[in-house]
Amino acid sequence: MSTTARALGALVHRVSLSSLTSHPLTLPRIGLLERISRSTPFHDVGRAHRVRRIWTSQPVCMGRRSCKIAGRKDAQNLKKMKRNSKIGKEIVAAIKKGGPNPSSNTNLATILEKARELDIPKEIVERNIKKASEKGQETYIEKFYEVYGFGGVGMVVEVLTDKITRSVAAVRGVVKDCGAKLADPGSIMFKFRRARVVNVKAADADKDQLLIVALDSGAEDVIEPTIYDDDSEEDRQESYYKIITSAEDYPVILSKLRDEGIAFEQDNGFELLPLNPIEVDDEAMELNKELMSKLLELDDVDAVYSDQK
């Protein structure tokens, strides 16, 4: 009897092992748990594995550091997409105003040159050149919408649109859904200044070298990245220095950075910088982050600036 029981036990054990290794749910479960590990703060990773909770969507990230880690890659991809979209709109606007010939349309020539410098895909340029000649296509107009965020934070939404009624309705809808409020023109804008900016990743430059290059090139200022006590070394390396300069000195600084072998972020160069950044608690930070993310999902919106520190 005991021999039969042992044989039966061995058979059950083999069947159990076979089902664990061949069950179709095994690989997806492991993959999702790995995703939890990467998006969960370090001190929660062990707990996530013990519970073996499976998320069908990415868990909400709370806290300053975890939010930065989870959203860093998505933010960079979105910024690149918005940059490409804005260049396309500028091409349409330039052609509508001065015609499709870069030889006689200096504004168009400048934008096409900028597109080459920013490595904008050729198909985007060609698609928008064709779009400008389509019947019924209106020119793009720059607009700024001002928003009261959370925790006393002010936001400025930069829009380049061919339908103002559409863009304002879309922005108003997102602001209302998020529980924020549109501000009257001029209520928030005075808290910012428009400046030509060169962004340099902290990992790509020595601070002292960068300051010397900026000073020699006539930069107005260098804004150091904001560092928090709980930031990891990776957080610090992924932050950016902002070199503030005039439009005239902008190409001089880019040339000097290239000569010194310092990489810089390819972008349009203009930003709205807060005059007096303010710090908010984690709850307000989460709400502002959600609001900004939803605004950036709108096709007409090219950038969202806030005075949140």
Residue 67: how many other CB atoms lie within 10 Å: 16
Residues of the chain with pLDDT under 70: 1-76, 227-238, 266, 268-269
Same-domain status, 154 and 299: yes
Same-domain status, 124 and 184: no
Rounded distance, CA 200 to CA 194, Å? 18
Task: Tell me the residue type at 9.
Answer: G
pLDDT digits (tens, 9 = 90+) for 218-240: 899 998 887 666 666 666 656 78
Q: Is residue 42 part of a domain?
A: no
Q: Is residue 19 part of a domain?
A: no
pLDDT digits (tens, 9 = 90+) for 129-178: 999 989 889 999 999 999 999 999 999 999 999 999 999 999 999 999 99
CATH number of the domain at 109, please: 1.10.10.200
The residues, any chain, with a CB within 8 Å of residue 16's CB and separated by 6 or more, are none
Q: Count up the domains in the chain and report the number.
A: 2
Supply the range of the domain harboring residue 106. Answer: 74-139
Q: Which two three-digit tokens encode residue 102?
A: 């870069």
CATH number of the domain at 250, please: 3.30.70.980
Same-domain status, 266 and 179: yes
Same-domain status, 118 and 234: no
